[in-house]
């Protein structure tokens, strides 16, 4: 009896380890009639958004590649995508959250190094240097940046008008204004991360870059100074103080969802919001009646305003893909299909690819305040007044640690110094391993 | 010939279930256990590091300790509240005649709701701006309306436990009710003839009569408290500030967010280890207490 | 049953208190769900400003919209089909297995009992990735088969032990009597034990159905084609897509839980009848 059981266990164990350990044979994915198939992953979108996507992405792709079945597959979380990829399957083109995300896949050879394709299609000439450079890991190119974005301060014009408040131009004005707003019973800065804890990285990225200063951040990320040094430490202390005073998120941000965060801002429950340039599309579709505008985060008196930059996502080629050459071709098409791309920005508020050839004229049809945001982005780039957002420029483990523990600092469960020390230790490890993204 | 066939029959009865389960669950689980000795990011680049993961868990990781404590708190809540409620209500309901089916049916309904839906619904009710707090405010309970049910680290775990409890106690109640109705009614009659009152019936007939079920429910609750995942994941995902972090959510984060699958597997080993220990401990205690027959 | 002459004030007081308690528990269980139903008939604005209460204005388009947008018809079909297959498989395997564990003496009994108890303690994450590997190799990923096999396997331990506990409570004399009459093990199981255990089978059937209907993690990982997705996955995807429209969320919740509740209500009647009439009268 025992022998029999032991055999069974051994059998199933052998079967599964054999499946795990051996190299995976990619399956031949063929559509009807010997057509090739390319699957591109994307995030959740509701019906109206899907229709829009079909107009600017699916249709043009169909026209350009008539013999290929191109499908966009929605994934509602990272976990299912990861299990698929780990299991030897998954879409051909992966839409990931940015270079730090890609780094994880690159570490385990789950995405292809695209240097040969880059040479073939001359991608290095296509993208902004800083965006392109951030996509390298260990000296190889693993993804292509799909958007560029930055952090701004949104304010609700109606609320400001009603209370006769002035848009602050310096940090000092902002602080004074927030106290006034709170007095009036309104939330100064809307914030909520209940359903996406990682949203805190918007906050600390903004504070370190704008108020710690980009030089301080850059030098720390390059190993010449530390996060525990006064410049960065003080900026984060200020962030914590603001949170505790109720200026950020009304002391309840952990219980407020992202949707609520925008809703509060749009409905006037909150007067301002620190958010990214990507929020304009949500504001536009869900709250068209909201009168909002945005400015760069007000700098301390006498200093220049800084625009924290990021690439919001990246496309990589799955190492399991049976058609990598075709996938590269599709990628190249997507990035060079200028007409549809500009149209999508103007008509559907899509984010622009960080292309050198980006011309402001072409997006003149966009709403004025959105256009102004792009102008701010461009100017900041030319004048080199850029800051560094964590999801593009910080090493992945450091970012994960900070995302998970910022709330603890807000809630006094963790001291700021301990938090900074631990973050620094992750940064040190990454510098040693050579896995810190390249900074512009 | 007949003898050996007779001996084999039980095996024919039980082995199919065993095989199916072993192939899908145990076999793969064992292979994953092996992976707990590796540093692995979940996508095929495993580095053998022996027991280092375990060392880290026991010496450096503060969150694991926190998670285990939370699981223990969860356990304490769940072996008392739903059991007490379920049992009491089962007794009361078993005494009803006409309305019994109605009550029993309604009490069980929360159990059939999926955790995702129930979690979402209660999260909505506990929303500080759009939820029950509005109602409390309007009714004049100022203090109550300011409570951050899911945002306050001190009470978040209780809030989530409350919701899982809402979902779970009806199930316990039904189990107890079923068991109670299995108790031979002759025993009750005999006791009444002897002059016993309701309370004595309870102690001397009902409880002993359903002791197998009580034991079963106890051990299930204890083990499941360490495995619970759904409600915490849906409602708070371990937050705010790790105040609701339990083993399962921590494992999930390590496996799928932090890309530390080897470490997550080591945590799984610990988790199952605790469960198994509890199972044997409970078995021992029950035997001593005369709860189990076997 | 003797009726005492003086019921007395205390008796009535206790009865009243008991009833009060039961009714409170009833409200506790039912009101949150009734409110969900009510909220599905209110506008988003209204729901956000006051989540508890009757609709001021009845809004009827939440239901058809959510149904259409969420693609629920297909999801219902998927879930029902999967549930049906899993129920049949589980009842068969558990029926035989629990009978063996509770009624038959054999050497491996302790081992198997312990095995299933321990099996419950194995957390999901331990085996989800290897299972995915194997299923992928076998080409079963993204088919309903994968879920059917997995659910059947994972539902075995708990239900096995549940049924075993129940069967152990039934005196052996009945089966012994059958065996004296010349039945073998199989016949004894089919003719004597099964009929008595019918209510428990029904319970297990309901439990399995509920589980399959509600299960999310595995369904989400193994099925990525929209058309094959079961109801629970659709719900989570939906709440992800339309998170800001609370009224739609409540409606989606109602759509997701309605069938389970209805089916449960239908069968619970028969279950009660089984429990109170059949059973063991020695």
Domain-wise residue ranges, chain A: 32-145+313-350, 150-310+384-433
Q: Which residues contact B76 (CB under 8 A, 6 or more apart)?
A: none
Of C21, C236, C272, the CB nearest to B101: C272
d(CA A168, CA A165): 9
Most confident of the ranges A46-60, B171-185, C8-22: C8-22
Position B289 confidence tier, pLDDT thresholds 50, 70, 90: low
Within a 10 A sphere around the Cβ of A73, how many other Cβ atoms?
17
* Among B13, B26, B131, beta carbon nearest to C51: B131
Contact C165, C113 (CB under 8 A): no
Which among C139, C221, C236 has the least Cβ separation from residue A83?
Answer: C221
Q: What is the pLDDT of residue A5?
A: 37
Indicate whether C49 pLDDT > 70. no
Query: Residue A111 has what DSSP assignment?
Result: B
Domain membership of residue B274 as a residue range: 63-289
Whether B57 is covered by a domain: the verdict is: no
- Cβ atoms of A241 and A235 within 8 Å: the answer is no
Cα nearest neighbour of C109 on chain A: A1
Highest mean pLDDT among A165-169, B186-190, B259-263, C245-249: A165-169
Q: Hey, is the C-beta of A74 within 8 angstroms of any chain C C-beta?
A: yes
CB contact under 8 A, C136 and A87: yes
Whether the CB-CB separation of B236 and B150 falls below 8 Å is answered with yes
**CA-based nearest residue in chain C for residue B212:** C165
**pLDDT on residue A14:** 38
Calpha distance C106→B158 (Å, rounded): 45
Q: Does A20 touch chain C (CB under 8 A)?
A: yes
**Mean pLDDT of residues grouped by 10 in chain A (440 residues)?**
38 37 32 68 75 85 87 76 75 86 80 89 86 83 88 92 92 92 92 86 93 91 90 93 91 84 88 90 81 91 89 87 89 88 82 83 81 86 87 86 90 91 92 81
Tell me which residue in A88, A258, A259 faces C136 most closely, judged by beta carbons: A88
Chains touching A (at least 3 CB pairs under 8 A) are B, C
Among A5, A88, A259, beta carbon nearest to C133: A88
Asked if A286's CB is within 8 angstroms of C243's CB, the reply is no
Quick check: A1 and C221 CB within 8 A?
A: no
Handedness of CA A382, A384, A385, A390 (dihedral sign): positive
Query: Residue B83: inside a domain, yes or no?
Result: yes
A-chain CB neighbours of B236 within 8 Å are 194
Which chain A residues are closer than 8 Å to C69 by Cβ?
46-47
In the predicted model, is pLDDT for residue C87 greater than 90?
A: yes
Q: How much is the pLDDT for A23?
A: 28
The CA-atom distances, in angstroms, between B201 and each of A133, A266, B191, B205 are 79, 63, 7, 5
Q: Which of A17-26, B25-34, C71-80, C93-102 has the lowest mean pLDDT?
A: A17-26
C9 touches chain B (CB under 8 A): no
In chain C, the residue whose alpha carbon lies closest to the alpha carbon of A48 is: C69
Choose the closest CB to B150 out of A105, A110, A255: A255
| CATH T-level fold of A32-145+313-350 | D-Maltodextrin-Binding Protein; domain 2 (3.40.190)
Euclidean distance between CA atoms A172 and A301, whole angstroms: 7
- The pLDDT score that the predictor gives to residue C104 is 78
Size of interface A-B (CB pairs under 8 A): 102
Paired residues of A42 in beta bridges: A74
Give me the residues of C, 137-156, that contact B with CB < 8 A. Answer: 149-150, 152-154, 156
Q: Which residues of C touch A46 (CB under 8 A)?
A: 69, 241-242
Residue with tokens 């700098």: A299
What pLDDT is recorded for position A211?
Answer: 92
Q: What is the CA radius of gyration of chain C?
A: 24
Nearest by CB to A108, from B43, B150, B256: name it: B43
**Partner chains of C (3+ C-beta pairs under 8 Å):** A, B
Give pLDDT, residue A190.
93
- Cβ contact C47:C246 at 8 Å: yes
Residues of chain B found within 8 Å of residue A254, distances taken between Cβ atoms = 148, 150-151, 239-241
For residue C16, pLDDT over 90 is answered with: no
Q: Which residues neighbour A310 within 8 Å (Cβ) at sequence distance 6 or greater?
A: A98, A148, A149, A150, A205, A276, A389, A391, A392, A393
- Give me the domains of chain C, ranges plus CATH numbers: 71-241 (1.10.3720.10)
| Alpha carbons C250 and C245: distance in angstroms, whole number | 9
Comparing CA positions, the residue from B259, B254, B268 lying closest to residue B45 is B259
Chain A residues within an 8 Å CB radius of B253 = 404
Residue A19 is nearest to which of C128, C133, C226, comparing CB atoms? C133
Pick the residue with more confidence: B9 or A264?
A: A264
Residue B227: which residues within 8 A CB-CB, separation 6 or more?
B247, B248, B271, B275, C120, C121, C123
Closest in B14, B89, B113 to C257, CB measured: B113
Looking at domain A150-310+384-433, which CATH architecture does it have? 3-Layer(aba) Sandwich (3.40)
Residues of B in contact with C156 (CB under 8 A): 17, 20-21
Check if A32-145+313-350 and A150-310+384-433 are the same fold. yes
Of C276 and A16, the one with more pLDDT? C276
Chain A closest CA to C234's CA: distance in Å? 10
Q: Would the pLDDT of C46 be above 80? A: no
Instruction: Name residues 135-164 of chain B within 8 A of A (Cβ).
Output: 148-151, 153
A184 CB neighbour count, 10 Å cutoff: 12
Q: Which positions in chain C touch B176 (Cβ < 8 Å)?
A: none
- Secondary structure of residue A137 in the 3-state scheme: strand
pLDDT of residue B290: 60
The number of C-alpha atoms within 13 Å of A102 and in the hemisphere containing its C-beta is: 37
| Among candidates A1, A45, A89 on the partner chain, residue whose Cβ is nearest the Cβ of C141 | A89
Whole-number pLDDT of residue C282: 27
Residue B89 within any structural domain of the chain: yes
All residues of chain A having their beta carbon less than 8 Å from the beta carbon of residue B21 are none
Q: What mean pLDDT do residues B135-156 have?
A: 82
- Give the orientation angle of helix C8-39 with respect to helix B156-182, to 10 degrees: 120
Tokens, residue A318: 């799955």
- What span, in angstroms and rounded, lies between the C-alpha atoms of B51 and B266? 9
Gyration radius of chain B's alpha carbons? 23
Per-residue pLDDT tens for C137-188? 777 777 888 889 999 999 999 888 888 887 877 777 777 777 777 777 777 7
Establish if B28 belongs to a structural domain.
no
Helix B156-182, helix C194-214: angle, nearest 10:
160
HSE value, Cβ hemisphere, 13 Å, CA-based, for C190: 5
Q: Which residues of B touch C232 (CB under 8 A)?
A: 114, 116
Residues of chain C contacting residue B268, judged by C-beta atoms under 8 Å apart: 123, 125-126
What whole-number distance in Å separates Cα of residue A107 and Cα of residue A105?
A: 5
Instruction: Give the pLDDT score at B35.
Output: 76
* Torsion A370-A371-A377-A380 (CA) sign: negative
| Distance in angstroms (rounded) separating the CA atoms of residues B211 and C143 | 43
Please state the domain count of chain B.
Answer: 1
Pick from B9, B108, B247: CB nearest C185: B9
Residue of B nearest to C233 (CA): B116
Q: Is A38 helix (H, G, I), strand (E, B) or coil?
A: strand
Q: Could you give the residue ranges of the DSSP H alpha helices within A149-229? A: 157-162, 171-183, 200-207, 214-221
User: Which range (A252-266, C105-119, C263-277) has the least confidence?
Assistant: C263-277
* DSSP assignment of A177-197: HHHHHHHTT-EEEE---TT-G
Residue A187: predicted pLDDT: 92
Q: What tokens appear for A123 in the block?
A: 């991608």
Pairing label, strands A314-317, A292-295: unpaired
ipTM of the complex: 0.73
Q: Cβ contact (<8 Å) for A74 and C237?
A: yes
Q: Determine the pLDDT at residue B43.
A: 56
CA A87, chain centre distance (Å): 26
- List the one residue out of A339, A378, A397 whose CA is nearest residue A149: A378
Range with the largest mean pLDDT of A188-192, A337-341, B1-5, C2-6: A188-192
Does any CB of chain A come closer than 8 Å to the CB of residue B8? Answer: no
pLDDT at position A90: 81
Contact check, Cβ <8 Å, C126/B182:
no
Chain C residue with the nearest C-alpha to that of B36:
C126
The domain that contains B139 carries what CATH number? 1.10.3720.10
* Tokens 């371990």 found at: B238
Is the Cβ pair A87, C236 closer than 8 Å?
Answer: no
Task: Confirm whether B35 is domain-assigned.
Answer: no
The token duo for A238 is: 């200020």
Q: Which residues of chain A make contact with B42, given a CB cutoff of 8 A?
A: 82, 86, 108
Any residues with CB less than 8 A from the CB of B192 and at least 6 apart, and which?
Answer: B201
* Rounded Cα distance, C119 and B243, in Å: 29
Q: What percent of chain B has pLDDT over 70?
A: 93
pLDDT of residue A3: 36
Q: Whole-angstrom distance between the N-terminal and C-terminal Cα of chain B?
A: 30
Distance from CA of A313 to the nearest CA of C (A): 19
- Between chain A and chain C, the number of residue pairs with CB atoms below 8 A apart is 68
Place of tokens 């506790």: C28
Chain C residues whose CB is inside 8 A of the A80 CB are 220-221, 224
Q: Residue C151's pLDDT is what?
A: 92
Do C241 and A46 make contact, defined as CB atoms within 8 angstroms? yes
Quick: pLDDT tens for B249-287.
888 888 776 667 778 888 888 888 888 888 888 778 777
Beta strands across the sheet bearing A144-145: A68-74, A36-42, A93-96, A314-317, A144-145
């Amino acid at each position: 009896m025992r022998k029999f059981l032991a055999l069974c266990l051994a059998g199933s164990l052998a079967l599964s380890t054999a499946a795990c350990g051996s190299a995976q044979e990619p399956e031949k994915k063929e559509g009807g009639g010997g057509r090739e198939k390319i699957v591109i992953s994307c995030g959740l979108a509701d019906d109206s958004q899907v229709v829009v996507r079909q107009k600017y992405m699916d249709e043009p792709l169909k026209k350009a590649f008539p013999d290929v079945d191109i499908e966009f597959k929605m994934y509602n979380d990272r976990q299912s995508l990861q299990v698929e990829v780990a299991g030897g399957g998954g879409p051909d083109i992966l839409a990931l959250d940015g270079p730090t995300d890609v780094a994880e896949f690159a570490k385990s050879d789950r995405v292809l190094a695209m240097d040969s394709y880059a040479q073939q299609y001359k991608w290095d000439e296509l993208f902004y240097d800083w965006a392109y450079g951030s996509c390298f890991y260990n000296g190889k190119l693993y993804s292509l940046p799909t958007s560029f974005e930055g952090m701004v301060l949104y304010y609700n014009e109606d609320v400001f008008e009603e209370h006769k408040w002035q848009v602050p131009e310096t940090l000092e004005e902002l602080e004074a204004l927030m106290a006034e707003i709170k007095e009036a019973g309104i939330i100064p800065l809307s914030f909520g991360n209940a359903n996406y804890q990682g949203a805190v990285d918007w906050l600390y990225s903004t504070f370190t870059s704008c108020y710690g200063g980009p030089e301080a951040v850059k030098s720390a990320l390059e190993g010449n100074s530390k996060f525990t040094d006064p410049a960065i430490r003080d900026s984060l202390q200020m962030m914590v103080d603001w949170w505790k005073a109720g200026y950020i998120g009304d002391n309840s941000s952990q219980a407020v969802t992202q949707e609520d965060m925008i809703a509060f801002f749009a409905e006037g429950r909150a007067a301002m919001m620190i958010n990214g340039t990507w929020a304009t599309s949500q504001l536009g579709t869900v709250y068209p009646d909201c009168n909002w505008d945005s400015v760069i985060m007000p700098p301390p008196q006498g200093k220049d305003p800084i625009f924290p930059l990021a690439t919001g996502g990246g496309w990589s080629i799955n190492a399991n893909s049976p058609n990598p050459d075709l996938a590269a071709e599709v990628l190249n098409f997507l990035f060079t299909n200028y007409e549809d791309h500009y149209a999508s920005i103007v008509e559907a508020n899509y984010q622009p690819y960080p292309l050198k050839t980006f011309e402001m004229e072409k997006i003149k049809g966009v709403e004025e305040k959105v256009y102004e945001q792009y102008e701010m982005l461009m100017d900041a780039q030319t004048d080199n007044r850029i800051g560094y957002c964590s999801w593009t420029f910080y090493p992945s483990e450091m970012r994960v640690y900070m995302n998970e523990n910022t709330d603890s600092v807000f809630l006094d469960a963790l001291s700021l110094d301990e938090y900074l020390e631990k973050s620094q230790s992750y940064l040190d490890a990454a510098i040693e391993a050579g896995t810190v993204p390249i900074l512009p | 010939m007949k003898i050996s066939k007779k001996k084999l029959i039980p095996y024919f009865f039980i082995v199919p279930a065993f095989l199916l389960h072993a192939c899908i669950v145990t076999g793969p689980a064992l292979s994953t256990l092996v992976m707990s000795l590796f540093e692995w990011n979940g996508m095929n680049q495993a580095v053998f590091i022996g027991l280092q993961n375990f060392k880290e868990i026991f010496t450096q990781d503060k969150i694991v300790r926190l998670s285990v404590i939370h699981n223990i708190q969860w356990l304490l809540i769940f072996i008392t509240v739903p059991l007490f409620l379920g049992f009491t209500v089962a007794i009361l309901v078993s005494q009803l005649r006409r309305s019994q089916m109605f009550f029993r049916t309604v009490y069980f309904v929360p159990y059939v709701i999926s955790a995702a839906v129930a979690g979402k619904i209660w999260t909505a009710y506990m929303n500080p701006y759009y939820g029950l707090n509005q109602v409390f405010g309007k009714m004049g309970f100022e203090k109550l309306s300011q409570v951050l049910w899911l945002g306050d680290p001190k009470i978040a775990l209780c809030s989530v436990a409350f919701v899982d409890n809402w979902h779970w106690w009806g199930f316990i109640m039904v189990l107890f009710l079923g068991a109670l109705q299995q108790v031979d009614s002759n025993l009750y009659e005999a006791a009444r003839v002897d002059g016993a009152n309701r309370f004595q019936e309870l102690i001397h007939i009902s409880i002993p009569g359903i002791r197998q079920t009580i034991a079963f429910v106890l051990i299930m609750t204890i083990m499941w408290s360490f495995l619970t995942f759904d409600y915490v994941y849906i409602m708070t995902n371990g937050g705010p500030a790790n105040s609701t972090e339990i083993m399962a959510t921590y494992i999930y984060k390590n496996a799928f967010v932090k890309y530390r699958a080897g470490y997550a597997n080591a945590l799984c080993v610990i988790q199952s280890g605790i469960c198994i220990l509890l199972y044997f401990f409970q078995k021992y205690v029950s035997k001593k207490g005369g709860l189990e027959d076997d | 049953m003797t009726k005492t002459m003086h019921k007395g004030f205390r008796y009535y007081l206790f009865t009243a208190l008991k009833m009060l308690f039961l009714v409170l528990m009833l409200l506790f269980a039912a009101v949150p769900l009734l409110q969900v139903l009510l909220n599905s008939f209110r506008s988003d604005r209204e729901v956000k400003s006051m989540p508890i209460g009757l609709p001021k204005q009845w809004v009827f388009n939440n239901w058809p919209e959510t149904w259409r947008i969420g693609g629920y018809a297909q999801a219902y079909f998927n879930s029902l089909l999967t549930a049906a297959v899993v129920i049949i498989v589980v009842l068969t395997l558990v029926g035989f297995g629990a009978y063996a564990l509770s009624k038959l003496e054999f050497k491996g009994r302790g081992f198997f009992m312990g095995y299933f108890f321990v099996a419950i303690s194995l957390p999901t994450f331990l085996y989800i990735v290897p299972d995915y590997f194997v299923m992928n190799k076998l080409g079963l990923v993204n088919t309903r088969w994968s879920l059917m096999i997995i659910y059947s396997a994972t539902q075995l331990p708990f239900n096995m032990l549940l049924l075993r506990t129940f069967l152990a409570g039934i005196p052996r004399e009945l089966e012994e009597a059958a065996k004296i009459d010349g039945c073998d093990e199989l016949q004894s199981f089919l003719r004597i034990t099964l009929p008595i255990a019918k209510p428990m089978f029904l319970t297990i059937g309901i439990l399995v159905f509920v589980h399959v209907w509600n299960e999310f993690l595995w369904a989400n990982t193994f099925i990525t084609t929209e058309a094959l997705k079961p109801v629970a996955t659709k719900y989570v995807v939906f709440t992800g897509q339309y998170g800001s429209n609370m009224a739609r969320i409540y409606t989606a919740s109602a759509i997701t839980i309605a069938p389970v509740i209805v089916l449960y209500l239908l069968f619970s009647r028969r279950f009660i009848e089984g429990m109170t009439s059949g059973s063991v009268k020695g």
